[in-house]
Amino acid sequence: MGLGDDTSTGQPGVTWRGGVPVSEAFDDPYYSFDDGLAETVHVFLAGNGLPARFAPGFHIAELGFGTGLSCLAALSAWRVAGVTGPLRFTSFEAYPLPPDAIARALAAFSGLGDLGAGLAARLAGDDTALPDLDLDLIEGDARTTLPDWEGAADAWFLDGFAPAKNPELWEPGLMGEIARHTRPGGSFATYTAAGAVRRALEAAGFAVERAPGFGRKRHMSRGRLR
């Protein structure tokens, strides 16, 4: 189904179109209508040179947790890579989805096995679910919460809604905080190739390059901290 199909409303703030959740606030899907998991692997994993860079203690940080799809794609790759210890994953999310909406979205991806149900259980309060995932979900406006974060990431997934619809999550000041909370030689990847975003990341200290995008998107952006 296309963008205009199946507009039945599910959870508050979310419309389901062809089985894909779409934010009513930003009128933007949480992931690609073509194949959300394939998009995630192409943009965020390959864009950050993963899983080749995985090592014990590796830390991924993310703007925009959404359905948790990127988190679980990374965890799936982590398991296949057989790295010792848990995957560290910190995500900043202003508008968290309820666990049942997350479970509904992730159920569409058979390639994740039972990871979707495990994440929903974890978010519902079951601390024993997904024991190999060290997850820190920080709720609130990232412009406020990220500056106070004491961590630093090896790789960033910049996965907010489109810059044209959610410009606050792509402001130069926030891109500067991304760089400040990146380990030396750390990386970022994002689906957007918007010039303003690339310039902000370059000004923050990243060596930025435009790369082939996923599906209908011609380009995406990725880079390493200088």
| Closest listed residue to residue 3, CA positions, set 16, 26, 193 | 16
**At 46, which CATH number?**
3.40.50.150
Residue 94 counted as domain residue: yes
Per-residue pLDDT of the chain (226 residues; tens, 9 = 90+): 222 333 333 444 899 998 899 999 999 999 999 899 999 999 999 999 999 999 999 999 999 999 999 999 999 999 999 999 999 999 999 999 988 899 999 999 999 999 999 999 999 899 999 999 999 999 999 999 999 999 999 999 999 999 999 999 999 999 999 999 999 999 999 999 999 999 999 999 999 999 999 988 899 999 999 9
Give me the domain span that covers residue 52. 34-225
Q: Give the count of domains, the chain.
A: 1
Residue 10, domain member (yes or no): no
CA 181 to each of CA 62, 129, 149, 184, 207: distance values in angstroms, whole numbers, following the listed order: 11, 28, 8, 10, 16
- Asked, for residue 140, whether it belongs to a domain, the answer is yes
Examine residue 20 and state whether it is found in any structural domain, yes or no.
Answer: no
- The CB-based long-range contact list for 112-115 (8 Å cut-off, 24+ gap) reads 112/37, 112/72, 112/73, 112/76, 113/76, 115/72, 115/75, 115/76
**48 found inside a domain:** yes
Decide if 146 is inside a domain: yes
**Residue 100 forms part of a structural domain:** yes
